[in-house]
Amino acid sequence: MKIPRFYTNLAPLIKPNKVLVIYGSRRAGKTTLLREYLGGINGKMQYKLDSGDNIVVQETLSSRNFSKIKNYARGYDLIAIDEAQKIPKIGEALKIMVDEIPDIKIIATGSSSFELSGQIGEPLTGRKRTITLYPISQIEMLELSNAYEIKNDLDKYLIYGGYPEVIANKNPDEKKEVLEELLGSYLLKDILELEKVKGSKILLDLLRLLAFQVGSEVSLPELGRQLGLDYKTVARYLDLFEKSFIVYNLRGFSRNLRKEVTKKSKYYFFDNGIRNAIIANFNPLETRDDIGKLWENFLVSERIKKRSYKSIYANAYFWRTYSGQEIDLIEEREGTLFGYEFKWSPRKPTKAPKDWVSAYPKAEYSVITKENYLEFLT
């Protein structure tokens, strides 16, 4: 099954003497996207596709040797480098090509944003465009199915998530196997390789604690006590998870009230299937006691995809007071506050919290349910 991606046509994003950087977690479909684009190029454009895993390519592009790097790209209109984060000093090599070779076009993909962005950030200032490819979004599924069919499959997205290989497999057991392989062999690989973390057990233990606390405020000192780690180490691991597209940090919002909670964070997973693989729970929705967490995580992660793909520029937060009034998601965009409360089974209409209305009378407020969620996400 071929799943249409939001960035099906990369051509409008690729400019002469610029680098298109494609970020995303492992197995999100970056290599497939790149190869499909290159496969559709007509014969008038000469291109070269290489991998950062290639030792010869690593040696050439990390050499800082102008003539050597220019010779590598000579005769090509487009250079494409997959897994570019594997190449030391890749940003400097890309800068040499962009600055020294007239009209050259470059694409670089990377699964670990913390490594790739750290290498290319300063060298490619003003010389790059960045996009992020996430697991399959509801926006993309609408190109494959209609709204009725997507809503009928909602339980599958909540349980198994949206990684391309997972959606392509119809058998639940095969979906589980793919997710377990993703978790065990791919998602933590960059952290283990690049950050010299001694083992994956402590990382998985931390992820498991986060998985059980989805939608709740997280205390770093408390996580540290449960894992036998100091506060700074926990903070570093959480930062690595964020930059590896495993979890997303949502911070507290405050502008007017002393009683608003601001110093804590909530953590959500970019994919529900990965969250469920971490806690080894793929049970049907009707037998679960964490459906609220699954629903909230799904909506937050899908909304991230929508903001990214549709270029909706917003600051995102949660809102809560010490007295317990709360709103799941706040978006601050175009000078207006938008509050969204997520309800899986609303028993009655939900009004905005009194303190929210009092402090932010001009803010918008909506309740997102199974009836209206697709409009919110697409």
Per-residue model confidence as pLDDT tens digits over 85-102: 889 889 999 999 999 999
Which alpha helices (DSSP H) does the chain contain, by range?
30-39, 55-61, 66-73, 90-100, 113-120, 138-141, 147-152, 154-160, 164-168, 172-181, 189-194, 200-212, 220-227, 231-243, 272-278, 291-309, 354-359, 373-377
> How large is the average pLDDT for residues 71-81?
95
d(CA 285, CA 370): 14
pLDDT value at 51 more than 90: yes
Residue 176: CB atoms within 10 Å:
19
Q: Regarding predicted confidence, which is higher, 256 or 326?
A: 326
- Which pLDDT score, from 0 to 100, does residue 122 have? 81
Q: How far is CA 353 from the centre of its chain?
A: 30
Confidence of residue 4 (pLDDT cuts 50, 70, 90): confident
C-alpha of 212 from chain center:
20
Confidence of residue 42 (pLDDT cuts 50, 70, 90): confident
| DSSP label at residue 109 | E
* pLDDT tops 70 at residue 256: no
The answer to whether 344 and 291 are in contact (CB under 8 A) is yes
Give the model's pLDDT for residue 260.
56
Q: How confident is the model at residue 305 (pLDDT cuts 50, 70, 90)?
A: very high
The pLDDT value given to residue 44: 77
DSSP string, 68-103: HHHHHHTT-SEEEEETGGGSTTHHHHHHHHHHHSTT
Average pLDDT over residues 290-319: 97
What does residue 40 show for φ and ψ, rounded to 5 degrees? -95, 0
Domains of the chain as residue ranges with CATH: 11-132 (3.40.50.300), 138-309 (1.10.10.10)
Q: Mean pLDDT across the stretch 135-151? A: 95
pLDDT-derived band at 198 (thresholds 50, 70, 90) equals low
pLDDT confidence tier of residue 273, bands split at 50, 70 and 90 = very high
Residue 116 · residue 28 · CB < 8 Å: no
Token duo for residue 355: 């303190």
Q: Which residues pair with 105 in a beta bridge?
A: 18, 78
Please state the rounded mean pLDDT for residues 234-249: 92
Share of the chain above pLDDT 90, in %: 74
| 343, pLDDT greater than 70 | yes
CB atoms within 10 A of CB 105: 22
**361 has a pLDDT exceeding 90:** yes
DSSP 8-class letter at 144: T
Q: Residue 194's pLDDT band (boundaries 50, 70, 90)? A: low
Structure tokens given for 88:
């030391």
CA–CA dist 289, 306 (Å, integer): 28
Q: What is the pTM of this model?
A: 0.93
pLDDT confidence of residue 258: 63
What rounded mean pLDDT belongs to the chain?
A: 91
Decide if pLDDT at 43 tops 90.
no
